[in-house]
Amino acid sequence: MNKINNKSSRICIYLPSFDRGGVSKITLNLINFFVYKKKKVVLITSNINKKLLIKSKYLEIVTYKSSKNNFFSSLLNSFFSAILLFNNLKKNDKILSMQNHLFSIFISLIKKNKIIIRNSEEIIGATKYSDNIVNACLVFITKIIFYQFALNLQGIVLKTK
């Protein structure tokens, strides 16, 4: 068995809201993949049922209790999880941001860690059918700003060693 090398990087998965849905399933699959490959993973999230995750010395879970489900509480939850990310991030760690990327991007810039962002929607469709027009406008504006700096990385495979 391989031992964890303290100098090797970890993958810090930033997922502010671990709800039932596609992003949670994708995250569970990624965690299982990385743990199988003996890659150290730190999951930063809220209100997770730990029974969903495999027990492994390669997996560390950092959680907090999230608040109600509305726009303001969602922003607060993202902020609290970002503080946990900031406090748990080490020099060579990689950030895998699964949702609410604004805080994780700023943390990666401040701490100079590499970041990978999961994006599952196109810019117009994400805002067109939103229930909250203010939230939709904020999302649209931030996506226009940050999409300008994104690279097209479709088809790239993550190497774990």
Number of domains in the chain: 1
CATH of the domain at 89: 3.40.50.2000
- Is 108 inside a domain boundary? yes
Q: Is residue 80 part of a domain?
A: yes
Residue 32 lies in a domain: yes
Domain, as residue range, for 97:
11-120
- Identify whether 132 is part of a domain: no
The answer to whether residue 125 is domain-embedded is no
pLDDT tens profile 8-50: 789 999 988 777 677 888 888 899 999 999 999 999 987 777 7
pLDDT score, position 36: 92
Regions of the chain where pLDDT drops below 50 = 1-6, 151-161
> Do the domain assignments include residue 107?
yes
Position 102 in a domain:
yes
Retrieve residue 107's tokens: 């943390």
Q: Does residue 127 lie within any of the structural domains? A: no
